[in-house]
Amino acid sequence: MKWVIEVTALFLGFASWVLVFVALEDQYWKESTTDGSVITTSTIYENLWMSCASDSTGIYNCWDFQSLLALPGFIQAARALMISAIVFGTFGLLATLVGMQCSKIGGENYVLKGRIAAIGGVFFLLQGLCTMIAVSWYAANITQQFFDQFYPGTKYEIGEGLYIGWSSATLAICGGSCLLCACKMESSEEKIQYPYQPGPRGHMLSTVATSHTAPSNYGRNAYV
């Protein structure tokens, strides 16, 4: 049962790691809204790296963000968190491959392998948290601008890239939780049970005999 959980966790972690790349490459993190517009001639959509615009004929143009320091703070933070998620996911995959009980990598020291697998689970949890914070922060900024009646700029909708990021974060958290549960199962199975061992019977008998043969200060004639 334990190796099934570990294989499932590895699959979930690998899927979440791939989805991080898919979310980063996706251009539709936010898309200009059509709410209140009768005729839409162009659509603007952005991600963490570029902004694109397309017209009704299907022609689109994209341009990369030129300055990092000129970007809003939430975009800079989202970039850092997504890159950190990739790094944590890479370490999580390597640690899980080494720490799995059905893997021959790292020898047959199963206690050490279990601890390494638990470290892999922690890395997956960190990956999921970084991804979740990045996409949620980005989405919160979109919704704040959308519902702000005095916001003068272009208002946007939540794009498909954010949903891919949320899916990646959920899979990573599930994979890390599975690895930690597998490690907990191993630690509970490795508990040493010490059976009850009563003391030697001869020692108990000698103690009783000593108490019965204690010397008396009275002679036999004192009881007559």
Are 78 and 95 in contact by the 8 Å Cβ rule? The answer is no
Query: Which three-class secondary structure state does DSSP give residue 150?
Result: coil
Q: Is the whole-model pTM more than 0.95?
A: no
2-29+70-158+166-189: which CATH number, 1.20.140.150, 3.40.50.10860, 3.40.1160.10, 1.20.272.10?
A: 1.20.140.150
Beta pairing, strands 60-64 & 156-158: unpaired
User: What is the pLDDT averaged over residues 172-195?
Assistant: 69
pLDDT > 80? residue 206? no
3-state per-residue secondary structure call for 29-40: CEEECCCCCCCC
Name the band, by pLDDT with cuts 50, 70 and 90, for residue 187: low
Residue of 22, 20, 16, 4 lying closest to 175 (CA atoms): 16
Q: In the chain, where are the structural domains located?
A: 2-29+70-158+166-189
